[in-house]
Structure formats: C-alpha cells, structure tokens
Amino acid sequence: MELFFILVAAVFGLVCGSFFNVCIYRIPRDLSIVAPPSHCPKCEHRLPFWLNVPLLTYVLLRGRCYFCREPISVRYPLVELLTGLLFGAAALRFGLTPALARALILIFLLVPVTFIDLEFQIIPDGFSLPGIVIGLAGCWWWGGLVPWWEFLLGAAFGWLSLWLVATGYHCFTGRDGMGGGDLKLLAMLGAFLGCKALLPIILLSSLSGAVIGVGLVLWQGRDGRYAIPFGPFLAAGGLLYLFYGPQLLDFYWGLVLPA
C-alpha cells in the first residue's frame, strides 16, 4: 500500500509538472494559463491529449514536435521528472499527514518559480504572495507543536533579512544585487517552515550561489557578463530544509557549538 501511495503521488507530480510548464512559458509573457489549449510554441499547432502525456510523449517523439519536427526544449521533461520525483519523495518522507500537504503545496510553488527565475530572472508575485498567506494560514494545521508566531516571524524576518542585505549591497556598490522577488520568496519559505529555517536556508543558498558564481568567473573570466538569479538557490535551500530540517539544524549547531 505504501509503494502504491508513493507511485500515485509521483504520477500526480508528473501531471503537475506538465501544468508547471504551461505556467513557466505563459506567465512571464502575460499569457493566460487557461486559453488557448496546449500548443506547440513554434508551429502553434494545437496538441491533442495523446500528445500531452507527461514525460512519455517527449521520449516517444525523441524530443521533437509531432507536427513541425522542431526540437522541444529539454526543460519540459526536466520539470515533469523533477516534480514527479519530489512529489514521490514527499509521500515517502511524510506519509499521509498534514506535513505532506505542506510539502506538496511548497513544491507546487517552488518548482515553477525556480524555472521562471532561471529563464526570465523574475519571481512573479502571483506565487510568493499567495504562498505567504497559505503558509501562515496552514501553520495551524501542519505546524504541530510549533507555535504559530514562529511562522509569522519566519515571514517577517525572511523579508527583512534579505532587504538588509540588498540595501547594504546597494549602498556599497550603487547597484541592485537582489530583486524584490527574492525577498518575498524567502518570506514565503519562512511562512511555511518557520523562523528557525531561515538561517540554514540563507547559508545553503549563499554557499551554493557562491560556488556557481566562482565557477562562472573561472569559465568566462572576470570580464564575462552573467547574471545569477538567487531564487533557484533559495528554493533549493528551502526544499533541503523541508526534507532534512532537523538534521541540518543539528549539523549547523554542531559546527557552531562543538561539544
């Protein structure tokens, strides 16, 4: 029964991933996610339901449109596969509990945000602002023994901490180093995961972002022009904390306060 439950969650994740691809393509372009129906963005031919099977369609068509034979972006199967794996992992980790609802909702918000930020370097408020409200409202259900004010502080300090960083960076360099979307995204993570999650998430995202940044400098040289969106690193840090929060806290405090 447990395996069946995990498989159902994974399949549901694949379907959600297909919907996320619609959101990732249309929302930054100010297009409706409802109409027109799914179609090839290159030849604009409407796709029948049998060409909309998550992951399987891409494999059978060998990554090309059925009608115009133009290549399909690898993002489509990647988003579907990632979402399916995350939903399945959440079902395995949390079982049929309120914590599973929190995990699925957070994944539902973070996956499209990650790929939109990677491609367009924006984080739409339509994800983060409702996410803050959902996180604060849902903490009464999935928060367990954690008091509600920890989630409220998580949202407030999540926004404030990155605002201080962004303001300080602007004062010293005269440039904007972080967008307002990042502030709202961390506030959303704080609303879902509580104030104790903020420091590990910031450390994880900053460290991974720094590694990628150094790699780009080594690859392109100091004069290379590149922009690194911070949202995907925040999302990855949030997901790591979602699945391994207690272990991350124990590891961190073990480094700060060795026995």
pLDDT in tens, 199-237: 999 999 999 888 887 887 777 665 555 678 999 999 999
Domain end among 42, 76, 96: 96
Q: How many structural domains is the chain composed of?
A: 2
Whether residues 236 and 135 fall in one domain = yes
**150: in domain:** yes
Q: What DSSP assignment string belongs to the chain?
A: -HHHHHHHHHHHHHHHHHHHHHHHHHGGGT--SSSSPSB-TTT-PBPPGGG--TTHHHHHTTTB-TTT-PBPPTHHHHHHHHHHHHHHHHHHHH-SSHHHHHHHHHHHHHHHHHHHHHHHS---HHHHHHHHHHHHHHHHHH-TTS-HHHHHHHHHHHHHHHHHHHHHHHHHHSS--S-HHHHHHHHHHHHHH-GGGHHHHHHHHHHHHHHHHHHHHHHH-TT------SHHHHHHHHHHHHHHHHHHHHHHHHHHS--
Q: Are residues 239 and 150 in the same domain?
A: yes
User: Same structural domain for residues 171 and 50?
Assistant: no
pLDDT number for residue 258: 62
64 in a domain, yes or no? yes
pTM: predicted TM-score of the whole model, two decimal places:
0.92
Print the domain residue range for 80: 1-96
The residue among 50, 78, 96 that closes a domain is 96
In a domain, 106, yes or no: no
Q: Is residue 246 domain-shared with residue 159, that is, in the same domain?
A: yes
Low-confidence ranges of the chain (pLDDT < 70): 1, 177, 220-226, 252-253, 255-259
84 shares its domain with 156: no
Model pLDDT, residue 212: 85
